[in-house]
Structure 1
Amino acid sequence: MKNILGVYLSFFAAVVLAGCASSGKVAKPLPEAQVYASEQAATPPSSEELSLVSIQSKYLIKDTTQVKVYLYVDAYRGKNSIPVDDFIRIYNLNYVIYSDYGARDRLGYGNVKLTNSNVSKVGNRIVISFDVKSPNKDYGVLLSEISQTGTLKKVLNDLTIRFKKQSTSELYGVYTAASSEPLQRHYINSNEQFTIKRANESADQLHVFYYKHSFDPAGSPMNTAPPKSAAKSLQVDSSFTIRTNEPITFEKEGLYNIFSDTTQSEGMGILIVNERFPKTTQPEMLLGPLLYMSTNTEIADIKKAEDFKKALDKYWLNLMNGNEELARQSIKSFYTRVEEANTLFTTYKEGWKTDKGMIYIVLGSPDKVQRSKDREVWTYERRGNAQNVNFTFNRRNNQFVDDHYELVRYAEYQPIWYPMVEAWRNGTIR
């Protein structure tokens, strides 16, 4: 038996050794929302056509009157990222603040003049920063529009802003040596140096609680039993204090929850992951995501095998009836989905373990996304023999992150779920 898994591992090891940062890759996108554009759009075209591939966003509260907004834009000319000067020359930025999704009353609006002072480049990404005046409201939806000069082409991004919330994640950002702007993601690779700063640059002491805990993957979308929430009762493994504006490194992998005030119930969770994340390349870590397409017996057989990697090879070859080329293609397709889920959905646990990550890995990117204040609805127009299937995700309070969503589960998902799992198992998804 040829080492088919070794080919996959060798390929990604070569990528890592070559120094290709995973952050430079654009994850397979979510589609536009029905009301506001999603944070991801389409993949770069092969021509020299201009395109905005994706926009992600975050904000930090500066004080009671202002919020600093950051837009992270994947902008391309063909397959090449656009230089800052070209971006400034080609694109315009306007914004409107609404009271809620679907509302028409405007709380504020403006045009942002793009210059070298508020547009920078981090890796292949354009980062735009600008201030917005806080309305006298607890909550609002910021709709940003980036348009191409002289054309009708534009991309929208929606950002929920809680103007009066003073939790750590609203006040502080995480910065690395490679970026003058705060990270949009929740994870840091182990031994990567970073700094925590407040938007007003004040020097503060922060309290850190470390959890050496591996959170469970998402349960079946058909399992309607109430989920077990272990987050509130987790035992703290250690605690210490740090200072803002000072470079730090967290060497131990695990979850770190950071508070500016220990009386607060919600902190700023940072997941410290291995140096290859969001890629999954270590043999022992390849098993976890297979839960979504395997039987309990198959998982148990791999776990008890003396040679873990050979057991994984055997697993894929058995599924593909000994077809080595089909097995290689299926492995690459599956773990590409896992990497994309890690990039898009990592919160206090790896993206593949989240409800959104599970649905994304098995079914792919939804055809439509509709968002409201605390809900997302993903629509798959056709998967297998099923049409217009909706998956609803509700935002839930969480002590680590403010974008934790849980799937509303139904037994009726069986007719779409099992055929898609079977498609993975017979190699028809590539």
Structure 2
Amino acid sequence: MYIRRILVLLAILSLFSTCRPLKRPVNVNFAHLYNSEINVVQPEYSILHHHTDSTKLTIYINPDELLYVRDATEDFFTSRFQLSWYLFESFDSRILADSARIRFTDTLTIDPKPFLERTVNFATPPGTRYTLFTEFEDLNRRSRHQDALTPDKLHPYTSQFFLFAENKNSVFSTPFFLSLQKNFEITYAKALDFELSAHVFPVHDNIPVPPFVITDNQIDQVPEMVADTSFVLNFRNGKSSVITSHKGLYHFHEKGNSEHGFVAYAFHPGFPDVSGSVDMLRSLRYITSSDEYQQLFTYNDPMLATERFWNRSAGNPDRARELKNRYFNRVNNANILFTSFVPGWQTDRGMIYIIFGPPHSVFKTENTETWRYTEGINIPSATFTFNRIDNKYSYNHFALERDQAYRSTWNHAVSIWRR
């Protein structure tokens, strides 16, 4: 009897030791996603729905961000890292649809690749927009990076069913930032024959007003957009092509159903980088008076106009260079992080990110983000809440909850750029 009890106890302990605690994206601080200086390791992910009931997740890791340790028995250095993932049917769900943990190794070579690439597959029945909570860990350094991805299978024409390629060495998944006047091959996940309608919309020119201004003139509702041009994409055996002959937002969708589609961006040469473009000038609207802003456009060269502006504002060339680089780095990052149906710097999140910098904490729900800034030498204390705006073009568009109480906080933050 005694031995039997011991065996039962050991079995129970064994069961509990093999059960991993459920990890969910709620109550996780995602500030590191908006600040590359927080985490040493920063994996990137791409999602491709390569089968009706499954999805391929590809992880890209910069080997310079991993710690390689000399093997005790061999004369080489090895990194050890692992990916844990938890699939939910929504961000706020407590019900786990699937999960796994996979360990990888890599051996340091004389001529390492710029990125390590690993893939995993997981089951995703169609008809749902899932949340995939990932935890990447460098086991040698004992550091980790968490993310919340959105495998979108609401319909068979989301962006994650497609790949774009400018040439055989340049194949990429969503988001689709396209160069102008280029020919791109488009590959669908399945070798089918079908047609997609395509519409090209001009770039929306509205710039958000400060967060203390409460007005209807905001992109908190999707504006009425009229296409500059329309055409049809013919897919044969899962392949088609498009020439980006027009600047703007490219919307591809199922014929007769504009709700089932995806977008690609051909906003200006070099996007998401704004260097040399008119967006260099337009993005300065957040810290300029009306007269200063109009004066910027009297120059023929955007680079010259911005140089003059920063030299006048900063007072000396060294500080001007520092402020200019910091400001436009944030503009470029905003384009990468927050682009929706408008460039990221033109969104509410982009505006706050540019002026205040990366938030100190970011907490998410299914349809909200709450950013908090703790008071520092050059940062006032503030909390901003953004709400997702439902639209057929982008799942990445959020509107700020505006409040007149932000006036002093905003004016203080802007004044720091002008000292």
Q: TM-score, normalised by structure 1?
A: 0.75
Asked if structure 2 preserves the Cα contact closer than 8 Å seen for 1:384 and 1:420, the reply is no
Cα separation, 2, equivalents of 1:225 and 1:202: 47
Alignment of structure 1 residues 137-152 onto 2, 5 Å:
138-149=128-139, 152=142
User: 316, 319, 337: which one pairs with 2:313?
Assistant: 319
SS at match of 1:130: strand
Q: How many residues align?
A: 378
Cα separation, 2, equivalents of 1:127 and 1:397: 33
Which one-letter code corresponds to 2:123 in the other structure? K
Cα separation, 1, equivalents of 2:152 and 2:66: 37
1:69 is matched with: 57
User: 153, 157, 165: which one pairs with 2:143?
Assistant: 153
Comparing 223-232 with 190-199, greater Cα deviation is found at: 223-232
1:108 is matched with: 98
Cα separation, 2, equivalents of 1:54 and 1:38: 15
Asked if structure 2 preserves the Cα contact closer than 8 Å seen for 1:60 and 1:173, the reply is no
2:123 is matched with: 133
Say whether residues 1:351 and 2:341 are aligned partners: no
Asked if structure 1 preserves the Cα contact closer than 8 Å seen for 2:373 and 2:381, the reply is yes
User: 206, 228, 244: which one pairs with 1:237?
Assistant: 228
Alignment of structure 1 residues 84-95 onto 2, 5 Å:
90-95=80-85
Asked if structure 2 preserves the Cα contact closer than 8 Å seen for 1:75 and 1:125, the reply is yes
Larger radius of gyration: 2
Which one-letter code corresponds to 2:226 in the other structure? Q
Structure 1's 228 and 52: CA in aligned 2 closer, same or farther, altered over 3 A?
closer
1:328 CA drift (Å): 2.5
Structure 1's 318 and 145: CA in aligned 2 closer, same or farther, altered over 3 A?
closer
SS at match of 2:321: helix
Comparing 329-338 with 364-373, greater Cα deviation is found at: 329-338
Asked if structure 2 preserves the Cα contact closer than 8 Å seen for 1:218 and 1:353, the reply is yes
Structure 1's 220 and 179: CA in aligned 2 closer, same or farther, altered over 3 A?
farther
What do the CA deviations read for 1:200-219 (whole angstroms, capped 9, x no partner)?
A: 34343221111234432222
What do the CA deviations read for 1:53-83 (whole angstroms, capped 9, x no partner)?
A: 24345453731x2233344444524799xxx
Say whether residues 1:174 and 2:164 are aligned partners: yes
Say whether residues 1:425 and 2:418 are aligned partners: yes
What do the CA deviations read for 1:76-120 (whole angstroms, capped 9, x no partner)?
A: 24799xxxxx9996222222223444554321112346599xxxx
Say whether residues 1:330 and 2:320 are aligned partners: no
What do the CA deviations read for 1:384-410 (whole angstroms, capped 9, x no partner)?
A: 687652111111112222211111111
Which one-letter code corresponds to 2:297 in the other structure? K
Asked if structure 1 preserves the Cα contact closer than 8 Å seen for 2:57 and 2:119, the reply is yes
1:299 CA drift (Å): 1.1
1:422 CA drift (Å): 0.5
Structure 1's 242 and 344: CA in aligned 2 closer, same or farther, altered over 3 A?
same
SS at match of 2:150: strand
Cα separation, 1, equivalents of 2:304 and 2:79: 54
Q: Identity percentage over the alignment?
A: 20
User: 181, 198, 205: which one pairs with 1:215?
Assistant: 205
SS at match of 2:337: helix
Q: TM-score, normalised by structure 2?
A: 0.77
1:415 is matched with: 408
Which one-letter code corresponds to 1:207 in the other structure? S
1:43 CA drift (Å): 4.3
Cα separation, 2, equivalents of 1:208 and 1:39: 36
Cα separation, 2, equivalents of 1:108 and 1:78: 27
Asked if structure 2 preserves the Cα contact closer than 8 Å seen for 1:386 and 1:415, the reply is no
Cα separation, 1, equivalents of 2:366 and 2:77: 31
1:258 is matched with: 252
Which one-letter code corresponds to 1:68 in the other structure? K
2:19 is matched with: none
Cα separation, 1, equivalents of 2:67 and 2:174: 23
1:269 CA drift (Å): 1.4
Cα separation, 1, equivalents of 2:182 and 2:341: 18
SS at match of 1:267: strand
1:338 CA drift (Å): 1.4
What do the CA deviations read for 1:206-265 (whole angstroms, capped 9, x no partner)?
A: 211112344322222112223455855221111112234234331322111111333132
Cα separation, 1, equivalents of 2:303 and 2:165: 37
Structure 2, unaligned stretches of length 5 or more? Answer: 1-24, 69-75, 107-112
Asked if structure 2 preserves the Cα contact closer than 8 Å seen for 1:62 and 1:200, the reply is yes
Comparing 103-112 with 331-340, greater Cα deviation is found at: 103-112
1:14 is matched with: none
Which one-letter code corresponds to 1:52 in the other structure? V
1:157 CA drift (Å): 1.7
Say whether residues 1:367 and 2:360 are aligned partners: yes
Structure 1's 137 and 178: CA in aligned 2 closer, same or farther, altered over 3 A?
closer
2:173 is matched with: 183
1:425 CA drift (Å): 0.8
1:418 CA drift (Å): 0.8
